Structures are given as C-alpha cells and as structure tokens.
Amino acid sequence: SQQGEEDPQALSIQEGENATMNCSYKTSINNLQWYRQNSGRGLVHLILIRSNEREKHSGRLRVTLDTSKKSSSLLITASRAADTASYFCATDSNAGNMLTFGGGTRLMVKP
C-alpha cells in the first residue's frame, strides 16, 4: 500500500484561485517532499520540509506539516494555467535512501 495518500485525487479551479492539496502518511518520517509532474514528463522537486518544521514557503507555494496527525498540505496561491499538473507528496522514512510516493493530485487550472 502507498505510504502517502493525496486528497483530493483531482482538483479543478479557476486561474487566480488558491489550490490546496493534502497528503496523509502512515509511518514516522525524516522529511516530506512535494513534487510536480507535467504530462509526459518526469517529476520535479518543489519543496522539502523536515520533520521538525511546521511550515515552509517557496514563492507561491506554502507547505505545512503536522507530524501528530501524519499529514501535510500544499497550498498554491494565485494559481495560473501553467500550474496545471499532477502533484505528489513523498515521504522519507529511512535517512534519505528511499522516497515513497502517494498517488498524486491532478490539478487543472482553467484560464
């Protein structure tokens, strides 16, 4: 079974709106990472949050981590059509050797 599970599986919003995606996981982690995948391409790293951090920002991205609830969220503010992609969370439970991915959230931003 997947370590991380994203919610929702699919999200459709208008340009300019905010998009929030959630990730839940099962075991203790060292860090959690978010990746983006455009259609037909490989995954691209967006942001990494360590287990002792609660929030992190990068441009229009905001990631939160709640280790007590074993959950994380990715917020994309002021979305653009170019943000249309699948977004995956990945957990690192073993000192950086293996990342385990969730099933992803497919985000569509309509112009």
Partner 1 sequence: DTAVSQTPKYLVTQMGNDKSIKCEQNLGHDTMYWYKQDSKKFLKIMFSYNNKELIINETVPNRFSPKSPDKAHLNLHINSLELGDSAVYFCATKEQGLGPLHFGNGTRLTVT
Contact 40, 100 (CB under 8 A): no
Which of 43, 49, 76, 107 forms a contact with partner 1 (CB under 8 A)? 43
Which of 52, 59, 69, 97 forms a contact with partner 1 (CB under 8 A)? 97
24 binds partner 1 (CB under 8 A): no
DSSP state letters, 26-67: SS--SEEEEEEE-TTS-EEEEEEEETT--EEEETTEEEEEET
CA angle 28, 31, 32 (to 5 degrees): 100
51 binds partner 1 (CB under 8 A): no
57 binds partner 1 (CB under 8 A): no
36 binds partner 1 (CB under 8 A): no
Number of residues that bind partner 1 (CB under 8 A): 27
The closest alpha carbon to 51, from 7, 6, 102, 95, belongs to: 95
Q: Which residues bind partner 1 (CB under 8 A)?
A: 2, 30-31, 33, 35, 37, 40-45, 48, 50, 86, 88, 90, 92, 96-101, 103-104, 106
